[in-house]
Structure 1
Amino acid sequence: MSKDVYSSSMLQTYSVRTAANTSAYFMPRIEPDMKILDIGCGPGSITLDLAALVPQGTIIGIDCSETAINSARELTQNRGVNNATFQVANVLDLPFEDETFDIVCAHQVLIHLSNESSKTGAVEGLKEMRRVCKPGGLVCARECDWRSAVIHPAIPGVHESMKLVEDLTALRQTSPYGGLARSWAERAGFNPADVGASAVAVYYSTPAEVKWWGDTMAQRLEQGSSLDTGVKEGLISESQTHQFPRA
């Protein structure tokens, strides 16, 4: 990801994320004096929730987007949190010493890492996360798997939008398949016996939820230049862009 990857619609989407709705699977293992690294922190909403759980500890949020980090710092000031800091950094080259953190966590990060040559981006990211985690510490990653998405009923343009996202993902050589996380972890050097895996389904079913999700996804296609890139790369024609849902 480049540092300017976040559009306003993406920040809006990520801002509704909380520790409760993203990190419940490891929250019971958090202790008050721990040192936590939150990778791909976005606008910081998850990070600051986690900060409240380590009142005698600290948490650092990193993101490759300077726009996101500025938003996170502003939110930190507004909430009056004093044990959380944020900085621009890349998960593939973490600026921390070995064995620094008790918990290293990421939410929807590994699936965005590009694969290069014989290297899988998600595996390389986990290697770095493992490096900076203390022995006996916890490395956590919650990733979505786009293959499991179910859209009903069929709405003109929506499935075409999903197909465009898939094609752009292939173009960027990323792996949006969170169901492979266990194999990624084993390839990154984790002991298979120590790797835990779970799954959860996220629903957008009420009229308000459907409208919010539809509007934000449409905005992300427009603001994130996905439509322009699709045309430039020959994935869709200029005339087809008018068939996609608009916010």
Structure 2
Amino acid sequence: MTDATPHRDVYTHGHSSVVVSSHGMRTAAGSAAYLIPFLRPGLDLLDVGCGPGSITVDLARLVAPGRVRGVEITEAPLGQARALAAQRGIPVEFAVDDAYRLTTPDDSVDVAHAHQVLQHLSDPVAALREMRRITRPGGVVAVRDADYAAFSWWPADERLDAWLNLYRTVAHGNDAEPDAGRRLLAWAHEAGFTEVTPSASVWCYATPDERAAWGGMWERRIYSTIGQMAIERGLASRADLDAISAGWREWAAHPDGWLVIPHGEVVARA
């Protein structure tokens, strides 16, 4: 049974070009390694919150000839997803759908996957129950989310501290949980799963190219949806955003710059 309560979630990141392009750099190896041992050819898979589809297409290659569908709450990133699948010659269906009321029938996929999705939902447990509904008995529901409060970097910088505090404040204002990673196991249990495999992994940005990619992205991204929300809610000024942007630029250029982003992960048996 799907959740009948209406949800009006706000996506803290938005779908600006800088956000979608950064999400398009993700791969199954870098973002879903915990799930790969559970995959095999012929499994049907649904990717909830697929974004520009880079992880989805990688997963589709691993489960081919199984059917794969990627869904998003908006059409915005799906054109890029379809183009990527066509470029790689991998058949994937992409469509708009609602994580709380998926159009997928009961017991119709072997794997339901969501990467960096639950942290943006006002009711992540309801979404997990919905993913469980569509998964065949014996199949798996796999989710991975960052844990913002556990981010760590060097050198210390008050401007980056301000960025993290601002991000978490805006996300909480959206009735979302940016520190989702540590909560995934509890949410899976609350959703009714009894056989759950928990794990954790990190993204680390420390080489010059890695720092340039992450720092350069946030140097611009702070002015996108997250910054606009902060200004509209009286949480920051344009000068504050400028300082955060400069902080990321200088961190990226620092030869000792180091950043680690912890993630929680669970694979729950349906």
Task: Provide the residue aligned with 1:233 in structure 2.
Answer: 233
Structure 1: gaps spanning 5 or more residues: 115-120
Match of 1:89 among 92, 97, 104: 97
Q: Is 1:205 equivalent to 2:206 in the alignment?
A: yes
- Normalising by structure 2, we get a TM-score of 0.83
User: Following the alignment from structure 2 to structure 1, what is the Cα–Cα distance between the partners of residues 94 and 148?
Assistant: 29
CA distance in 1, matches of 2:190, 2:77: 30
Which residue number corresponds to residue 139 of structure 1?
141
Find runs of 4+ consecutive structure 1 residues off by over 4 angstroms: 1-4
Cα offsets for 1:51-92 (capped at 9, x unmatched): 11122211001111311111101111111222x110011211
Name the count of aligned residue pairs: 237
Q: Which residue of 2 aligns with 1:125?
A: 127
Q: Tell which has more relative contact order, 1 or 2 (C-alpha 8 A, sep 6+).
A: 2
2:137 match: secondary structure: strand
Q: How does 1:157-172 map to 2 (within 5 A)?
A: 157-172=159-174
CA distance in 1: counterparts of 2:237 and 2:178, whole angstroms: 25
Question: Cα RMSD between the aligned structures?
Answer: 1.7
* Whole-angstrom distance in 2 between the partners of 1:170 and 1:61: 27
Secondary structure at the counterpart of residue 62 of structure 1: strand
When residues 52 and 241 of structure 1 are mapped into structure 2, their CA distance, relative to the original with a 3 A threshold, is closer
Give the corresponding residue for 1:57.
66
Unaligned 5+ segments in structure 2 are: 1-8, 250-270
Q: SS state of the match for residue 52, structure 1?
A: helix
Deviation at 1:130, TM superposition (A): 0.5
TM score, norm. by length of structure 1? 0.90
Report the counterpart of residue 197 of structure 2 in structure 1: 196
Q: Please say which of residues 89-98 and 214-223 is displaced more in the overlay.
A: 214-223
Q: Which amino acid aligns with 1:105?
A: H
> Which structure features the higher share of strand residues?
2
Residues 1:149 and 2:157 aligned together:
no
**How much does 1:41 deviate?**
0.8
1:200 Cα deviation after fit: 1.0
Residues 1:105 and 2:106 are matched in the alignment? no
Q: CA deviation at 1:240?
A: 2.7
Aligned CA distance change for structure 1 residues 160 and 134 (closer, same or farther; 3 Å): same
Tell whether the 8 Å contact from 1:124 to 1:188 is kept in structure 2 after alignment: yes
The DSSP-based 3-state class of the residue aligned with 2:154 is coil
